[in-house]
Amino acid sequence: MLTSQRRALISSRLASDGQIVAGELAQELDLSEDTIRRDLRDMAAAGLLKRVHGGALPVTPPLPDLETRQTMSTDVKKRLGRKAAELVRAGQLIFIDGGTTNAELVRALPREMNLTIATHSPAIAALLEKHRAEVILIGGRLYRHSMVSTGAAALAAIGMLRPDIFFLGATAIHPAHGLSTGDYEEAAIKRAIAARSSETVTLLTKEKFDAVSPHHITGIEDMAALIMPLGMAPETSAPYRQKALRIIEA
């Protein structure tokens, strides 16, 4: 097999499987593991993948800052937020993660609805100023990129809650590797909230699909629902429709 053919295959496998295990691919192709590792090293140097111990992962584009994210896909985020708001019922305790898409969920909630909203995002809490809802703001060490609290204090407070729904924010979703994000501490907080919640729902714009960020949050099988943009390419949405979770298009 020519070098160009091997590397095309590697790119294809990364897109479909979300990872390359050098030893397994070498055995499958009847090649030396050194040959595959050399391909991965050269492709990583060209910015085509991310080398990890024993193989490779897809490249995740760097996250824009909060101010930039607020101007991206605004119409789509509003639609996603409105669909998510339809899942909320009076009397519930819901936990809303940080992020610009979840901000649209807050804006779509009826202001007079009687419920309790917990969040570890001061930006989300500020949007609830004129809402009737009781607001629980989780404190801790501020992770400025996402404007959310992290650390031991946040984990302790989260451990006292039993949310009916957790609206999870993530930077990437992949059929095999689940949902992930770019910060280790933030991922730990998200996992803790999901573990305490009856249901976890995520709202994701199309650029986050079929990608893998460095820090795992949870698997697709642990989600209750996925809210995605209407009109996603069938080859992108099909693997998620095959999972045991509710797909909602907006």
DSSP-H helix ranges across the chain = 3-17, 22-29, 33-45, 66-69, 74-85, 100-108, 122-127, 152-158, 184-196, 234-241
What tokens were used for 67? Answer: 């101010």
Convert the pLDDT of each residue in 40-76 to its tens digit. Answer: 999 888 888 888 888 888 776 555 555 555 555 589 9
Convert the pLDDT of each residue in 154-202 to its tens digit. Answer: 999 999 999 999 999 999 999 888 999 989 999 999 999 999 999 999 9
Give Cβ neighbours of residue 99 (< 8 Å, ≥ 6 apart): 69, 121, 146, 169
Global pTM reads: 0.77
Q: Which residue has the tokens 């991310």?
A: 50
pLDDT grade for 140, boundaries at 50, 70 and 90: very high
Beta strands per DSSP E along 79-233:
93-96, 116-119, 134-137, 141-143, 148-150, 165-168, 172-174, 178-181, 199-203, 215-218, 225-228
Assess contact for 98 and 148: CB atoms under 8 A.
yes
Assess contact for 55 and 20: CB atoms under 8 A.
yes
